[in-house]
Amino acid sequence: MSLAGRSVTVKVPATTANLGPGFDTLGLALALYDELTVTVREQPGATVQVTGVGEGEVPTDESNLVVRAIAHAFAAYDQPMPGLDLVAHNVIPHGRGLGSSGAAIVSGIMAAKGLLDGIVDIDALGLLALATEMEGHPDNVAPCLFGGLTIAWVTEDGPQFKKLIVHRGVSPLVLVPQATMSTALARSLQPESVPHADAIFNVSRSTLLIAALIQSPELLLAATEDRLHQNYRAEAMPDTSRLIGLLREQGFPAVVSGAGPSILVLCSDPAQRLAAVELVESESAAPWKSLVLAVDFKGATVVTHPVEAA
């Protein structure tokens, strides 16, 4: 079946992973979206137009991460890769712990799902497997795909997930600095092993965090304590670490967003978000962008457009 003329539009949310103690396991989708339109053309290869974040910086040919994700999905299902025109409008900040690479990968895989509609059926676990193969771990791509709060784990049969609905009292705030952070660098600062007591500490806090996010937001400060990763990475992002310490001293459930350097504050009411923003503005000489966001409950979406008559 020829795909010529097929076109899809994909919308994917930003994500924040770890949420403090849930290292490489917990992720949350946020209502901040990249949008992508992909159209099949007769000529081979791919062209990419980017507006917004990454414009003039990211590749605009087949080496683009979104194009590579589309190609990965087509190859996984033994489908020939068609020529493509991509138009991307990006809003998710790059290199700041908000899942931009995961969003790009999910964009491509969802585009492939839409383009192959009626030819190949890619189910939820198939989507997660494809995304995890490219991203390396499922903590960002799971919430990006499915929305809400996700628990992700890996078995012999591949990555798995459970989606949970977040309590309506949870009010996320993301504080974004001008500086960026490499995920690879952040991971390189992790030790090979951690003390037994720290492992037990994080098990208790991560299980408490599930309860806090879906049922009891008043427990978020205690539930977001962590001993597995944030302290080890603190030297690479001193401003982030200092501000998180100040926020937590004042009762705000603040953590590193993903690999950083952005800060996630899981407030229990909207007024608390405003107070957190005021504290950071008063305590930091460098500018931080405040993103007052809702939790995204839908995850990635794809709309298939009718093929226009020749």
**Which residue ranges form the domains of the chain, and what is each CATH number?**
7-165+296-305 (3.30.230.10), 171-292 (3.30.70.890)
pLDDT band at 180 (very low <50, low <70, confident <90, very high): confident
Regarding beta strands 158-164 and 149-155, do their DSSP bridges make them parallel or antiparallel, or are they unpaired?
antiparallel
Mean per-residue pLDDT for 36-52? 96
Which amino acid is present at 70?
A: I
Taking the C-alpha atoms of residue 62 and residue 67, their distance in angstroms, rounded to an integer, is 6
Q: Is the pLDDT of residue 184 over 90?
A: no
Of the candidates 164, 159, 16, the one whose C-alpha atom is nearest the C-alpha of residue 92 is 16
pLDDT band at 309 (very low <50, low <70, confident <90, very high): low
Binding residues for ATP: 93-103
Mean per-residue pLDDT for 1-26? 92
Taking the C-alpha atoms of residue 76 and residue 51, their distance in angstroms, rounded to an integer, is 29
Binding residues: 93-103
Q: Which of 94-98, 190-194, 225-229, 250-254 is predicted with the least confidence, judged by mean pLDDT?
A: 190-194
What integer pLDDT is reported at residue 191 of this predicted model? 64
What integer pLDDT is reported at residue 2 of this predicted model? 76
Of the candidates 273, 282, 283, 293, the one whose C-alpha atom is nearest the C-alpha of residue 98 is 293
Mean confidence (pLDDT) of the chain: 93
Considering only residues 199 and 144, tell me which one the structure prediction assigns the higher pLDDT.
144
Percent of the chain having pLDDT more than 90? 80
Contact, 53 vs 92, CB < 8 A? yes
Mean per-residue pLDDT for 179-184? 70
What integer pLDDT is reported at residue 228 of this predicted model? 76
What integer pLDDT is reported at residue 199 of this predicted model? 86
Name 264's Cβ contacts closer than 8 Å, sequence gap at least 6.
16, 19, 172, 173, 174, 254, 255, 256, 257
Q: What are phi and psi of 171, to 5 degrees?
A: -120, 95
pTM: 0.94
Tokens for 168, please give them: 């309506």
Q: For the chain, what is the radius of gyration of the CA atoms?
A: 20
Which amino acid is present at 64?
A: N
Contact, 15 vs 98, CB < 8 A? yes
62: three-class secondary structure by DSSP: coil
pLDDT digits 0-9 by tens, 191-218: 677 788 888 888 999 999 999 999 999 9
pLDDT digits 0-9 by tens, 243-261: 999 999 999 999 999 988 9
Taking the C-alpha atoms of residue 116 and residue 67, their distance in angstroms, rounded to an integer, is 15
The CA angle 160-161-165, to the nearest 5 degrees, is 170
Name 226's Cβ contacts closer than 8 Å, sequence gap at least 6.
18, 20, 21, 23, 202, 205, 255
What integer pLDDT is reported at residue 229 of this predicted model? 66
What integer pLDDT is reported at residue 136 of this predicted model? 93
DSSP secondary structure code for residue 243 in this structure = H
Taking the C-alpha atoms of residue 91 and residue 229, their distance in angstroms, rounded to an integer, is 27
pLDDT band at 234 (very low <50, low <70, confident <90, very high): confident
